[in-house]
Amino acid sequence: MSEKNYLLLANASMAKLSDIPRLEMGDFRADCLRAVKEENCRISAFFVLPGEGKEDLLTAILADPEQKKFRIMQSAVRDGKFPSLTAEFPGFNRFEREIFENNGILPENHPNLKPLRFTGKNDRIGEMEFFSMQGKAIHEVAVGPVHAGVIEPGHFRFQCMGETVYSLEISLGYQHRGIEKMLTGMPDNKTAHLIETAAGDSSIAAAWNYAKLTEALGGITVSSEVEAIRQYALELERCANHIGDLGALAGDVAFLPTASFCGRIRGEYLNMTAELCGNRFGRNFIIPGGIRFGVDSTRLEKISKWLHRIAPELWNALELMFNSPTVLDRFENTGSVSKDDALALGLTGVAARACGIDINSARDLPGKNAFPEVIDCRKFSGDVISRAAVRYEELKKSHDFLFGNFDDFKTSISPAERKNPALANDAIAVAVTEAWRGELCHVAVTGNRGEIKMLKIVDPSFHNWEGLAMALRNEEISNFPICNKSFNLSYCGHDL
């Protein structure tokens, strides 16, 4: 594919909309498919940019790990439709369904054009035609949207023969708040809050992404020390969530020592985040142009000592679980997703790495900041134990980063002034962050006054829900809770 067919854009940078090549639809489709099937690219975002009286533009943003940049290309939509790409590469499935639902533009010959979040005029949340099987031994199991405990709403429909699951369909949309629509016309004082709460357990990653966008569009530069502190906060967020997930998995197989310890230890890491910035989830810390609260060596030294005290307890709790035969018996060869299926579905983050896919947006689409060393994914086989082990390995790398970079940190960082910078007009900016679940992508498009015309959010869960459905194929239905927790995907991050 010629570079004339796409714009190359680095992570956390901007370009004028007029710089994006506009291809004929046939060339656009062929180039997208070639990139993802033959050239090791992956889909970061795929959406329609409304023309507002002009042509609607189908827009592809593909991550190219070899060039370590995004490929961006567009094609005009004719007669309210375009030829679907899903049949040839299933990773486009949810993106095309979203386009049909949000824009009313038909992906022709889509193999399974069902609602995604139920925002279409003729659809309501919780109403869709589910796949069904016929036969005397077939039975259907419906789970949710109301679940036990404090958990987000989602509906799961199983087609079973005996205990074996033949098909799982996942119906979401109950958490849809219209966040992307609310973000149009901004930035203002509400923008950062909306973005941070799109998926509350990834507040730091989302805030950093938004800061990258506005800094790129506003021509703002920040120091390497600020970027390092942002990464520090992100690794605390990663640790807290990975620890919580591993504890939940232990609880699901009644391995109470690790479940109990991880519940407490997760709270320690949330409290470290509060020590860093005043909020356990890291909200209102990362802002365009810097950080909102000053950080000095005294504060980091306190957190470092805290980490050194707590880390041995964490490793003891996790090693106990990973060395337990009863736990391994439940986790190994359960909920497996093959590497080929994971590639075709476009899985990202923990779910992809657990299938042996060497993917990490921090390395593949680098900014100027440092990041933890990437783990070796080749040994993982796509089952529950693999998804647990990926988290375990990432916890080790995060701690190496937290210990290695800040034990001797001597610089004091002053808080930045909170303001909404003027943004470049008629421009596009793309930012990704390797959040704890995987690649979090934000795309900002500005209008002729520098206002946000569109802010597209692609949460890692948007890619990975199809992976959970695949993991249940030919699996015992009793293993659904373990499989579900091993992915631990975000409902609100998907529903927006």
Interval 358-377: pLDDT, tens: 999 999 999 767 787 889 88
Task: Please state, for a pLDDT cut of 70, what percent of the chain lies above it.
Answer: 96
Tell me the pLDDT band of 126, cut-offs 50, 70 and 90. low
Region 469-479 average pLDDT: 96
Residue 113 lies in a domain: no
Look up the CATH number of the domain holding residue 57. 3.30.460.80
Quote the mean pLDDT of the chain: 92
Asked whether residue 100 falls in the same domain as residue 210, the answer is no
Asked whether residue 64 falls in the same domain as residue 183, the answer is no
Asked whether residue 358 falls in the same domain as residue 471, the answer is yes
Asked whether residue 436 falls in the same domain as residue 292, the answer is yes
Residue 148 lies in a domain: no
Helix axes 480-487, 384-406, angle to 10 degrees: 30
Residue 131 lies in a domain: no
Tell me the pLDDT band of 460, cut-offs 50, 70 and 90. very high
Region 281-297 average pLDDT: 93
In angstroms, the first-to-last Cα distance of the chain is 34
Domain boundary, last residue among 75, 90, 108? 108
Q: What is the pLDDT of residue 396?
A: 96
Region 308-336 average pLDDT: 97
Highest mean pLDDT among 50-64, 366-380, 397-411 belongs to: 50-64
Asked whether residue 278 falls in the same domain as residue 376, the answer is yes
Tell me the pLDDT band of 417, cut-offs 50, 70 and 90. confident
Q: What is the pLDDT of residue 407?
A: 62
Residue 198 lies in a domain: yes
Region 346-363 average pLDDT: 96
Whether pLDDT at 399 is above 70: yes
How many CB atoms are closer than 10 A to CB 109? 12
Tell me the pLDDT band of 136, cut-offs 50, 70 and 90. confident
Highest mean pLDDT among 4-13, 143-152, 415-424 belongs to: 4-13
Tell me the pLDDT band of 119, cut-offs 50, 70 and 90. low
Residue 122 lies in a domain: no
Question: What range does the domain containing 40 cover?
Answer: 3-108
Per the listing, tokens 């993991």 go with: 471
Tell me the pLDDT band of 51, cut-offs 50, 70 and 90. confident
Look up the CATH number of the domain holding residue 393. 1.10.645.10
Whether pLDDT at 1 is above 70: no
Check if the beta carbon of residue 491 is closer than 8 Å to that of residue 144: no
Whether pLDDT at 85 is above 70: yes
Residue 126 lies in a domain: no
Region 87-111 average pLDDT: 95
Check if the beta carbon of residue 486 is closer than 8 Å to that of residue 333: no
Per the listing, tokens 């062929």 go with: 30
Tell me the pLDDT band of 189, cut-offs 50, 70 and 90. confident
Instruction: Using alpha carbons only, give the angle 292, 295, 297 rounded to the nearest 5 degrees.
Output: 175
Asked whether residue 255 falls in the same domain as residue 345, the answer is yes
Residue 13 lies in a domain: yes
Phi/psi of residue 142, nearest 5 degrees? -110, 130
In Å, how far are 7, 103, 281, 442, 452 from 18, measured between CA atoms? 10, 22, 39, 20, 16
Domain boundary, last residue among 69, 92, 108? 108
In this predicted structure, which of 69-83, 109-123, 166-180, 358-372 has the lowest mean pLDDT? 109-123
Tell me the pLDDT band of 148, cut-offs 50, 70 and 90. confident
Residue 407 half-sphere exposure toward CB, CA atoms < 13 A: 8
Q: What is the pLDDT of residue 269?
A: 98
Whether pLDDT at 4 is above 70: yes
Query: What are 164's two structure tokens?
Result: 């074996």
Domain boundary, last residue among 49, 83, 108? 108
When divided into structural domains, the chain yields a total of 2
The model's pLDDT over 214-251, given as tens digits with 9 standing for 90+, comes to 999 999 999 988 999 999 999 999 999 999 999 999 99
- Parallel, antiparallel, or unpaired: how do β-strands 69-76 and 22-23 relate? parallel
Which pairs count as long-range contacts for 357-361, CB under 8 Å and 24+ apart, including other chains?
A: 359/42, 359/65, 359/439, 360/434, 361/11, 361/63, 361/432, 361/433, 361/434, 361/438, 361/439
Check if the beta carbon of residue 465 is closer than 8 Å to that of residue 197: no
Q: What is the pLDDT of residue 21?
A: 96
Asked whether residue 185 falls in the same domain as residue 101, the answer is no
Whether pLDDT at 168 is above 90: yes
Q: Report which residue type is found at 495.
A: D
In this predicted structure, which of 55-69, 245-259, 267-281, 361-375 has the lowest mean pLDDT? 361-375
Check if the beta carbon of residue 94 is closer than 8 Å to that of residue 40: no
